[in-house]
Amino acid sequence: MKCAVLMLAIVLVVAATGCSSSGGGSEQANVQPQSGQPTGSSDSEYIASDAKGIKTITVNSSAVPDYLVLPAHIEADPTRVVHIYPPAGGRIVEMKVRPSDHVEKGQLLALLQSSDLSRAVADYHKARVDAEVKQQALARAEDLLMHNAIAQKEYQQAHGDAKMAEAELVATAQHIRDLGMDPDHASSELRVVAPRSGTILDIGASTGEYSKSLDAPQPLCTIADISTVWALGDIYERDFAALKIGTEAQVTLDAYPNLHWEGRVGVLYDVVDPNTRTMHLRVVLDNPDRRIKPAMFGSIRVLRSSATGILVPASAVIREGNEAHVFVSKGNGHFQRREVKLGRAVDNSVEILSGVNAGDSIVSEGALLLRAAAQS
């Protein structure tokens, strides 16, 4: 009898212990997440006891642009580039300019000691003396003809000789002018001057070298007016149909990553490169301060298409591995962490494909503070 009572008491104690343990687990499951205690689910709510540093915005549907970004480089306008060759051969006495120098029209570029110019000057002086002699002979012939001292034929010969001498004088003078010199003040020193204002792109000769005039393998120097430059981009065949002449374009250069220049697609070339399967497009840029230099690299961004979507500031998105979240304001300091699917990045914004609807209020600044508070 005592043994039966003892066994019954043990069973009752064990049963009471089991019931107590089960009741404690139920109370823990009913505890609601508090501020700073994330559950890890996409719809976890947090209470911000201090909203300092947290800003919210209401998201709306807007046009989401789809940009085409093309590699590009800068070139000078070929119609504004001049390759300077000396008009006559000779030894270079002095080069007056250096690369990157800015020159004005008529400015001295180089001095040459030219035997070609010396011969041209000598021919001019001979022609001038001969013209004077022939003019004097013509004057005497006219006087003699008036007194019937010579025949008409002799006068005509003197007149023809004078005309030929005058033509030779004009030709030799023009030759010297073509060399850039004044016929009456020319010497053997040839002055090469700038035919237009611009920037010296490169130098092809140095003091002491002998220049063969137009037969030289490279010019003395090259001048370019870079107040206007070309940005040339390469576009693939699959994107040809997306672009039209006149499309707005934005050019960014590697040298100035925080700056951009606005322009329009001016020309779409008609020739496709058979190796790269690309075609050139041209954007003309104003460059009054000559900050943009030929051969610089950069990119051209043009609008390919646009569609309606939701854009949010990039600072609103929290990335964790392959997932992305935003905090949606529920009012009264309550925020809900919501998983979103991202689309294209546009400047400082990100397209939201799903997870946020138009009209939702999200945290635009301070999302990191909420996450840090939740993890503390």
For residue 39, pLDDT over 50 is answered with no
Q: What span, in angstroms and rounded, lies between the C-alpha atoms of 114 and 211?
A: 9
For residue 21, pLDDT over 60 is answered with no
Q: Which of 220, 238, 234, 227 is nearest to 180 (CA)?
A: 220
For residue 185, pLDDT over 90 is answered with no
Q: Rounded to a whole number, what is the distance in angstroms from the first to the last CA of the chain?
A: 60
Give pLDDT tens digits for 104-146.
Answer: 999 999 999 988 888 999 999 999 999 999 999 999 999 898 8
Q: What is the dihedral of CA 145, 149, 151, 153, to 10 degrees?
A: -60
Q: DSSP labels for 265-292?
A: EEEEEEEE-TTT-EEEEEEEEE-TT--S
Q: With cut-offs at 50, 70 and 90, classify the pLDDT of residue 44.
A: low
Q: Strand 198-203's sheet: what is its strand order?
A: 81-84, 221-224, 198-203, 102-103
Give pLDDT tens digits for 328-362.
Answer: 888 777 788 888 888 878 778 888 888 888 888 88
Q: What is the pLDDT of residue 14?
A: 36
Q: DSSP labels for 293-322?
A: -TT-EEEEEEEEEEEEEEEEEGGG-EEETT
Q: What is the pLDDT of residue 110?
A: 93
Angle of CA points 196, 251, 61, to nearest 5°: 150
Q: What is the pLDDT of residue 41?
A: 45
Domains plus CATH for the chain?
45-64+308-375 (2.40.420.20), 68-78+225-305 (2.40.30.170), 89-114+191-220 (2.40.50.100), 116-187 (1.10.287.470)
pTM of structure = 0.63
Q: What is the pLDDT of residue 272?
A: 85
Pick the most confident of 56-60, 89-93, 130-134, 303-307.
Answer: 130-134
Q: Which of 210, 240, 205, 209 is nearest to 220 (CA)?
A: 205
pLDDT more than 90, % of the chain:
35
- What single-letter DSSP state applies at residue 33? P
Give pLDDT tens digits for 91-107.
Answer: 999 999 999 899 999 99
For residue 1, pLDDT over 50 is answered with no
Contact 91, 213 (CB under 8 A): no
3-state secondary structure of 363: strand
CB burial class (10 A; 0-12, 13-18, 19+) of residue 266?
Answer: middle
Q: Which of 368, 66, 102 is nearest to 223 (CA)?
A: 102
Residue 178 or 9, more confident: 178
Lowest mean pLDDT among 10-19, 48-57, 67-76: 10-19
Q: What is the pLDDT of residue 24?
A: 35
Q: Which amino acid is at 67?
A: Y
Lowest mean pLDDT among 59-68, 158-167, 179-188, 210-219: 210-219
For residue 51, pLDDT over 90 is answered with no
